[in-house]
Structure 1
Amino acid sequence: MSPTAIFEPVGHESLAQAVVAQIEDLIASGVLKQGRKLPSERDLAEMLRVSRPKLREALSVLEERGLVTTQHGEGTFVAALTGQAMMPALLALYERHEPAFFDYLEYRREQEGFAARLAARRATKADQERIAEILVENERAWRENDTKASQEADFALHSAIVDASQNATLIHIMASIYELTRKGVFYNRDFLKTIDGTGKQLLDQHMELGQAVIDGDEQRAEKAATDHIDFVEESFRLGIERNRREAIAEKRRLLSDYKMS
């Protein structure tokens, strides 16, 4: 969708404040998320139908309020509003601390079930069309065994469902959580696929989740979301146990070879 459709022309009264109010509303509602780059000054002024001096005045107010940041030569971005969910040192610790991963899944299970239920109730036609398009991409990526595209479609589906919940707090917080997932913290999709085999179970789960939201079936959508996270949790538990058995078997083999030498 073109950014032109996102921003609306403003009237002549208090032009700078009208611009501030419109961008604040887009941020508060989760349309503009942290890290999102705004259109260029020229394009944004044209979309809002205000002069560039008035636009600069508005952006200055937004920057003073900590809502946007301007990077020289790069442009203006929505500021980091939720901050880092975790600092690098804690992330590194969590990667070495197995129980933390299951705490993460427990949190996601509850939040995504809640988000799916709200999305099924509140999704607009535009939300439903977006989810339907992502489902098509999920299926295409699986059919072509495109690992990178499958991962991106996975993230896109979960994000689209959270967006369709129309709950701004949930949208901003889960965007931060998904960023951890995107960076590979806690969640290794390739490892999960070794448990699934072909990735078909993951595809089926995503298709069911997205379709339930599109159909407006709240209970089915919530169940699909929580069933998906339960599958992820059980798969990782099985995988960890498998790796533990293989490590022990390898030690036995090494010890046997040592005794025979």
Structure 2
Amino acid sequence: MPTTDLFEPIASESVVDLVTGQIESMIIQGVLREGMRLPSERELSERFDVSRPKVRDALKRLEGQGLVNVRHGDGTFVAKLTGEAMSPALIDLYARHGQAFYDYLEYRREQEAFAARAAALRATRSDKDAIEALIGELDQAHRDHDDDASARADLKFHGAVVNASHNAMLIHMMTSIYDLTRRGLFYNRKYLRAVDGTGDMLLDQHHRIAEAVLAGDPDRAEAAAREHLTFVETSFREGTARERREDFAQKRRIASSLP
């Protein structure tokens, strides 16, 4: 029977160990993520079916390990567990050196190709439902010509595929990478859509990734993810080159009018 709750009742002598272990496991697997608020001691006691003092001891242990922050009167929150993918100084440095952007895309291409392959092999029904729902969001945003909604759904879609890989390390690392994208660093989807023209090709590529994952076809899923990021890179290179040509064309026109 599939679980209907995040937490499972515990029947064992090592109650504190098992409560701690369940929460640790959910943090490792990316179910509980940094900043998320845990249920209250009373709720956890009921869900684990153990006494509140045992829950309190488990939370104290987790706090001592640096995994949660207990804010009295406010609740218990998953601690910040991953550093920034890049420091502000490094981001500024990369912004001044365009090649870094293509390194970022290369990194994403390899990681997301692996994620799509793993997702095709490992995705659960819940994973597939999430991917299908996000394809629906992408379709709706496309019909509405809503660039902001498209950008949000785009990132959530890629995150859902990564989640479906069930690789805990990949989930945590890509969450940090996607945060850079969410903050508008390296990747401007509105610019990419302008290069694409209508955004139809981007939407079609997301559909192909989703269809391959849902069909459980790892080769097709990997190829679709790789093709998508290659398209993104090629589009940016072509768009940047076109802008550069236009800039020099305007400069030549201005120069030719000088006395």
TM-score of the aligned structures, taking structure 1 as reference length: 0.91
In structure 1, the partner of 2:62 is: 62
C-alpha distance after superposition, 1:148-194 (max 9, x if no partner) = 22112111111111111111111111111111111111100010011
In structure 2, the partner of 1:124 is: 124
* Structure 1 contact 94–101 (Cα < 8 Å) conserved: yes
In structure 1, the partner of 2:87 is: 87
In structure 1, the partner of 2:133 is: 133
In structure 2, the partner of 1:112 is: 112
In structure 1, the partner of 2:147 is: 147
Amino acid across the alignment from 1:64: G
Structure 1's 83 and 139: CA in aligned 2 closer, same or farther, altered over 3 A?
same
* Structure 1 contact 35–80 (Cα < 8 Å) conserved: yes
* Structure 1 contact 162–170 (Cα < 8 Å) conserved: yes
In structure 2, the partner of 1:225 is: 225
1:71 deviates by: 4.3
Structure 1 unaligned segments of length 5 or more: list them: none
Verify: 1:76 aligned to 2:83, yes or no.
no
Amino acid across the alignment from 1:168: A
In structure 2, the partner of 1:190 is: 190
Taking the aligned partners of 1:74 and 1:147, their CA distance within structure 2 comes to: 36
Q: CA RMSD in A?
A: 1.9
* Structure 1 contact 19–58 (Cα < 8 Å) conserved: yes
Amino acid across the alignment from 1:88: P
1:130 deviates by: 1.4
Q: Look up the SS of the partner of 2:181 in the other structure.
A: helix
Amino acid across the alignment from 2:232: V
Taking the aligned partners of 2:74 and 2:93, their CA distance within structure 1 comes to: 33
* Structure 1 contact 4–47 (Cα < 8 Å) conserved: no
Taking the aligned partners of 2:247 and 2:43, their CA distance within structure 1 comes to: 58
Taking the aligned partners of 1:73 and 1:185, their CA distance within structure 2 comes to: 36
Taking the aligned partners of 2:120 and 2:4, their CA distance within structure 1 comes to: 28
In structure 2, the partner of 1:213 is: 213
Verify: 1:22 aligned to 2:22, yes or no.
yes
Taking the aligned partners of 2:253 and 2:72, their CA distance within structure 1 comes to: 60
Q: Look up the SS of the partner of 2:166 in the other structure.
A: coil
Q: Look up the SS of the partner of 2:34 in the other structure.
A: coil
Q: Look up the SS of the partner of 2:31 in the other structure.
A: coil
Structure 1's 235 and 194: CA in aligned 2 closer, same or farther, altered over 3 A?
same
Structure 2 unaligned segments of length 5 or more: list them: none
Amino acid across the alignment from 1:161: V
C-alpha distance after superposition, 1:199-222 (max 9, x if no partner) = 111110001101110000111100
TM-score of the aligned structures, taking structure 2 as reference length: 0.92
